Structure 1
Amino acid sequence: MLPVTPNRVSVVRSVRLETGGRGGSAYDVFIDAQGLITAVEPTTGTPAGPGEVYGRDLLALPGFVNTHAHIDKSWIGHPWQSYGGEGGTDGRIRHERARRDELGIPSLDITRRVLAEFVRFGTTALRTHVDVDLGLGLRGIEIVREAVADYDGAITAEIVAFPQDGVLRRPGVLDLLRAAAESGVEHIGGLDPASIDRDPVGQLDGLFDIAADTGVGIDIHLHDPAELGAFQFDLILDRTEALGLTGRVNIAHGFALAQVDAARRRDLLQRMSQLDVTLTTVAPLRLPQLPLHELDAAGVRFGFGTDGIRDLWSPYGTGDLLGIAWQYARSSSLVRDEDLRRVVELATTDGGPFTGTGRDTLSPGDRADIVLIDAENAMDALVRMPPRELVLGGGRVLHQA
């Protein structure tokens, strides 16, 4: 497990690229000392020399982008923890609060372990929610920053200061979120303004005031279903427009969008597109999936995330973002090549803007975030989820099978 200083790579020789219409031919990818791709050229068959990697004609994909993670609160590395407590969002919050100190959550060791699993499965960029509450203060944010710093820029991460225990129902949390924003986090979060705080106007006004004052983004967990959830979409969109926060607001989960009728969904998607309000999903199996074709037709950007990994909410989770993409595609009954390829694009190239890294297409000027995988093409990689043979982050080796 890292942290170690990853070895720099100057050339990845003989890999197959699907991006940019290059087809199945083999290419050499050249990387500069800053970890950027400088050239992509048909392979010459030159053997890999010092500081180079022989790609064995494996498929090269851009690094996976995890747009919704919680790397601060897993029990990975501990003995098996049996599921306990009550169900539902509030029940899981209470159970987590009752046991997290016993398990030493958050801790630097646990956070490092979660990151190492992400990297092993090909994630090179992520947006992670980090709990901020009256018991923890901002301690989790400092732990996450230290764990990410171990990689010395080879992976990139943005932090959401996340009020998992609610905002208004715990006086002082808004002050903590403002302090987190002023400390340099990229986003502040919210949680079910109607069902957790029971004051959707108050919670959202507080969050949006902080964002307008400090320049941070907003990333809100919204589990509330059907019309209750759609009502909160409206409130979020209204404030995004009124405060000029276009392009700075994300709604995570957003189950309601898939549960309202087609006309209501169309209207919401149209406003979201106009205001560039984005979505992230963890592709939950028990609920309808966000509709790929409708989101794409409306121009609403969305990304995939792993959510929690073996935490006090659920024993599930491996850290494999390609597995989440598979789950989304399978649950959505996507079978055509263009749709399967699109799902891989959402897990890689289109996820970049959620983490400030841009749309990586493995072209000159892009970060050299590269995953080598033994697959015929992107569709084959998605449906089989083969092991990741090599993972480069910013031109440095993060994992090698």
Structure 2
Amino acid sequence: MRDVRPWGGDRADILLADGVIAGIVEPAERGTWAETDLDGAGLLALPSIVNAHAHVDKSWWGLPWQSYGGEGGTDGRIRHERARRDELGIPGVDITTRVLTEMVTHGTTLFRSHVDVDPGLGQRGIEIVREAVASFDGAIEMEIVAFPQDGVLRRPGVLDLLDDAAAHGAEHIGGLDPASIDRDPVGQLDGLFAIMERRGCGLDIHLHDPGELGAFQLDLICDRTEALGLAGRVNIAHGFALAQVDAGRRAELLARMGELRITFTTVAPLRLPQLPWRELDAAGVGFAFGTDGIRDLWSPYGTGDTLGIAWQFARASSVVTDEDLTRVLRAATSEAGVYAGRPDHDIAVGAAAHLFLTDAENPMDALVRTPPRQVVIGAGRVLHDARVADRD
């Protein structure tokens, strides 16, 4: 890859070999380039975007428009989805592949996706998602969360399905609002942590419950993480309560989470307080961004652009300085690699070659304008080149 500006620095050539960044060197004279070399044309080069909270099994992307229906609220959306998903062929390999392809065009090559596991589906959703990912022949990478969207305890057999998914390679199991969905926070968490102990997987749990109810469940999660020695294996998705409790209570929670290496993922929800990222940083609590569902039976919104989610978070959090804008961008790129099994994700020698090029002056400009991703490279392969389409 010739003539790019890694992280907005001086122009350089990035040498790729066997899917890895083999070197970052001064740019060679154009006359010495091989015909197969990619001309970066001085574009800004950044590590690929990481979607750390997706639901790639749920979308109706590419189908005719589906009008919003059913009832609001978590339970209402679950019922509506269960009533219509078979009719729409969700989950399906073709739909999931289309969703992944769209996300790739936005610069994402690394994913963590929740995939529904329930008595109506069994493990079929996970099999479908794995088949869709495999169609990219190693150029994108994904960690899977076996996700009990319909509850853990209130549906007999779900714990067994989660255990089976973990036994067959799901990197994480999920959970969902132990108090408000199952109405048994102790029981749900005991069941989930038992699987973690037995199978060596992680836990990535949806927690929407607000205020002190949510904070109480965060306490329970910390208690079990500490008691069972499972530090570094728990992520909280959403975690709205953290931003809703008072500063003293939040400081206590964050101190424990930092010690236990519990992390957060956020979709930067509108109309709700954003994660207090400076406090997370001070406590050593990692965070990353995700799209959640896009164009699904929960909501017609979503483009698949995780950089747009980072933009939304930055603007809602009044992020304006160069240092802070870059910090937010890193949370969407290099520092989020750990959520997809790539802790070394960056433009650096020895790292897997996941990156994108965009027409931006610097990293701050890339976040603030979210310009189109011109070139997207996954594991050393060009997956998207908008310039070719423009020439055609």
TM-score of the pair, normalised by structure 2: 0.97
- 1:90, 1:285 → 2: CA distance? 20
* Residues 81-100 of structure 1 mapped to structure 2, 5 A cutoff: 81-100=66-85
Q: 2:25 aligns with which of 21, 34, 41?
A: 41
- 2:229, 2:138 → 1: CA distance? 32
**What corresponds to 1:110 in structure 2?**
95
- 1:45, 1:230 → 2: CA distance? 59
Q: Is 1:261 aligned with 2:252?
A: no
Q: 1:332 aligns with which of 305, 308, 317?
A: 317
Task: After TM superposition, give the deviation of residue 51 of structure 1 in Å.
Answer: 2.7
Question: Deviation string for 1:32-74 (max 9, x for gaps)?
Answer: 12x1111101112335423310100000000000100000010
Q: Is 1:275 aligned with 2:264?
A: no
**What corresponds to 1:149 in structure 2?**
134
Structure 1: any 5+ residue segments left out of the alignment? 1-11
Question: Deviation string for 1:68-117 (max 9, x for gaps)?
Answer: 00000101111111111111100110111111111111000110011001
Q: Is the 8 A contact 1:77 1:113 kept in 2?
A: yes
SS of residue matched to 1:100: helix
Q: Is the 8 A contact 1:14 1:45 kept in 2?
A: no
- 2:16, 2:234 → 1: CA distance? 34
**What corresponds to 2:35 in structure 1?**
50
**What corresponds to 1:285 in structure 2?**
270
Q: Is the 8 A contact 1:68 1:128 kept in 2?
A: yes
Task: After TM superposition, give the deviation of residue 361 of structure 1 in Å.
Answer: 2.2
- 1:249, 1:45 → 2: CA distance? 49
Number of residue pairs the alignment of both structures matches? 385
- 2:89, 2:345 → 1: CA distance? 37
**What corresponds to 1:6 in structure 2?**
none
SS of residue matched to 2:303: coil
**What corresponds to 1:162 in structure 2?**
147
- 2:83, 2:344 → 1: CA distance? 41
**What corresponds to 1:208 in structure 2?**
193
**What corresponds to 2:282 in structure 1?**
297
Task: After TM superposition, give the deviation of residue 25 of structure 1 in Å.
Answer: 1.4
Structure 2: any 5+ residue segments left out of the alignment? 387-392
**What corresponds to 1:17 in structure 2?**
6
Q: Is the 8 A contact 1:283 1:289 kept in 2?
A: yes
- 2:323, 2:69 → 1: CA distance? 42
Task: After TM superposition, give the deviation of residue 360 of structure 1 in Å.
Answer: 1.9
**What corresponds to 1:222 in structure 2?**
207
- 1:170, 1:80 → 2: CA distance? 31
Task: After TM superposition, give the deviation of residue 208 of structure 1 in Å.
Answer: 0.2
* Residues 346-385 of structure 1 mapped to structure 2, 5 A cutoff: 346-385=331-370
Question: Deviation string for 1:339-380 (max 9, x for gaps)?
Answer: 111111000001000110123221100111110000000110
| Large movers: runs of 4+ above 4 Å | none
Q: Give the RMSD, CA atoms, in angstroms.
A: 0.8
- 2:120, 2:145 → 1: CA distance? 18
Q: Is 1:321 aligned with 2:293?
A: no
- 1:356, 1:225 → 2: CA distance? 30
The code of the aligned residue for 1:124 comes to T
Q: Is the 8 A contact 1:351 1:359 kept in 2?
A: no
- 2:240, 2:272 → 1: CA distance? 8
The code of the aligned residue for 1:38 comes to A
SS of residue matched to 1:56: strand
Q: 2:125 aligns with which of 125, 136, 140?
A: 140
- 1:147, 1:49 → 2: CA distance? 33
Task: After TM superposition, give the deviation of residue 157 of structure 1 in Å.
Answer: 0.2
**What corresponds to 2:86 in structure 1?**
101
**What corresponds to 1:28 in structure 2?**
13
**What corresponds to 2:217 in structure 1?**
232
Question: Deviation string for 1:288-329 (max 9, x for gaps)?
Answer: 000111111111011000000100000000000110000000
The code of the aligned residue for 1:145 comes to R
The code of the aligned residue for 1:77 comes to G
Question: Deviation string for 1:251-295 (max 9, x for gaps)?
Answer: 100000000000110110110010001100000012100011111
Q: 1:343 aligns with which of 318, 328, 339?
A: 328
Q: Greater shift after overlay, 358-367 or 322-331?
A: 358-367
SS of residue matched to 2:111: strand
Q: 1:193 aligns with which of 178, 185, 189?
A: 178
The code of the aligned residue for 2:255 comes to Q
**What corresponds to 2:389 in structure 1?**
none
